[in-house]
Amino acid sequence: MLLILFLVFVVTPIVELAVIVQVAGSTGVMNTIGLLVLVSVVGAWLVRREGLGILQRAQQEAARGRIPGREIVDGLLVLGAGALMLTPGFVTDAVGLALLFPPTRALVRAVATRRLTRSMASGRTTFRYGWRGEDPSTGGIIDAGSWEPGPADGGPDEPEA
């Protein structure tokens, strides 16, 4: 874990700076800045487009009564791609763009799913549901809300007071 943090916070910025300096040296500073902004704008548009498509597929799966597991993983990968696209730099943009393309995302999803499955089978990873430090059966409070369609939503008319 320490190695991953070292790579993310020390090595990645150094690599990004080296690549930006190389690109700026060959294309000019303004062109480099323009290219970084352009890639971020295009990336944001792609993230939105892919994210809405994934959301629609997740809703379809839920409507069929199935758990949208694949769509949840895809959504997390697209979220990660969006974070990478907003990080200034060409290397992170390239990785983010790769995650936005469905074939590459399917490959990463397969590897991530396989690793998580192995980790759960070995007991290294567990998921807990409920309250932190409390047992829900002991009278914990559940905050819930409800919504009923009114006339503006196509539902029945509300009674007059």
Give tens-digit pLDDT for 48-63. Answer: 999 999 999 999 999 9
Output the CA–CA distances (angstroms, integers) from residue 35 to 4, 10, 27, 31, in the order listed. 28, 24, 10, 6
Convert the pLDDT of each residue in 105-148 to its tens digit: 999 999 998 988 888 888 887 766 555 555 555 555 544 444 55
Paired with 131 in beta bridges are 134
Q: Domain segments of the chain: what residues?
A: 12-124
| End-to-end Cα, the chain, rounded Å | 62
pLDDT at position 130 is 52
In this prediction, what percent of the chain has a pLDDT beyond 70?
Answer: 78
Q: pTM here?
A: 0.71
Taking 50 as the threshold, does the pLDDT of residue 24 lie above it? yes
pLDDT at position 149 is 52
pLDDT at position 144 is 46
pLDDT at position 87 is 87
100 in the Ramachandran plot: left (φ > 0), alpha (ψ -120 to 50) or beta? alpha
Taking 50 as the threshold, does the pLDDT of residue 161 lie above it? no
What whole-number distance in Å separates Cα of residue 75 and Cα of residue 100?
10
What whole-number distance in Å separates Cα of residue 111 and Cα of residue 74?
12
Q: What is the mean pLDDT of residues 87-110?
A: 93
In sequence order, the 6+-apart residues with CB closer than 8 A to the CB of 126 are 120
What whole-number distance in Å separates Cα of residue 54 and Cα of residue 39?
22
At residue 156's C-alpha, the angle toward residues 155 and 159, to 5°, is 135
Q: Please name which of 95, 114, 94, 96 lies closest in space to residue 51, comparing C-alpha atoms.
A: 96
